[in-house]
Structure 1
């Protein structure tokens, strides 16, 4: 979760999957640390470097006929003047939003992470139902 000085949250819509609004991110490669994967995915998808502030939470997504998936959400503060260079093969749209007025469709992990952040409930582990 990236947040700017105006307390807006950055969301992206990927060019694949269900195209719901989500945070930048992706899979952890074999042997890679979760934090390193987060930094790599942000660099690959948005063309920027960030510094992680803290862990917002771990969201275990569950659903029918699909394996459970762990989604780690970290907080990074970025300047309002940040210039993104998104990878057009991965990112369709980038949007800064007020966390109290989120767009839809939105992933359940994002909804839970934003709520946890607003309530200052960092470091939580939650089970989240995957959308179909």
Structure 2
């Protein structure tokens, strides 16, 4: 019997739309074997319309920073743009991009805006995607089935609101002017171009060499 591909056509169509809107977006494509019980959980969600999620690299310009309180020294005024990153509960000290899973009927843009609002209380304006990460997952028990997912990270700018974290999911969130000690993989990818001081020792994307014009491989 031929291999069963779950959500392949949907993921391909969504990726094509994102590429049409932003021709230069890099696309990384990987394959992974996952434990059978986790695969079955992902498969159940996939049948409900889940195909991945959207995340945002959110920048706030100095002019948009809130005014200092009277007790703060004058040199505390922001002079450079800052980036909003989060820490998940139970995730040690790693800083990641805010965002989350796409619900059925949403675009990746819709999902990103909603998840940022729910997680950290900010309203954002999305710009272009800076990375599309497509993964084909297979169960490690040998079943001939493949699950296609797509994860999209966008550049974004702060529009309104102040940090108000979803305490049940996050340890914290912060506006950062400099790179933190430990970054999640998609935050690493964007930080490498954003911060001169950030130089990843072993960039994961160097192994896949993302090509914005690469053809997708569905076979």
Question: If the length of structure 1 is used for normalisation, what is the TM-score?
Answer: 0.70
How many residue pairs end up in the alignment? 119
Q: CA deviation at 1:34?
A: 0.5
Correspondences of 1:1-132 after superposition (within 5 Å): 1-5=57-61, 6-17=80-91, 20-60=94-134, 70-78=150-158, 82-98=161-177, 101-117=178-194, 128=205
Match of 2:77 in 1: none
Cα RMSD after superposing both structures: 3.3
Report the secondary structure of 1:21's partner residue. coil
Distance verdict in 2 for CA 1:59–1:77, change over 3 Å:
same
Question: If the length of structure 2 is used for normalisation, what is the TM-score?
Answer: 0.45
**Unpaired segments of 5 or more residues in structure 2?**
1-56, 62-79, 141-146, 197-203, 208-219
Question: CA–CA distance in 2 between the matches of 1:116 and 1:68?
Answer: 28
Q: 2:121–2:161: 8 Å Cα contact kept in structure 1?
A: no
- Higher-helix-fraction structure: 2
Question: CA–CA distance in 1 between the matches of 2:149 and 2:187?
Answer: 14
Match of 2:51 in 1: none
Which protein has greater RCO, CA pairs closer than 8 Å, 6+ apart?
A: 1
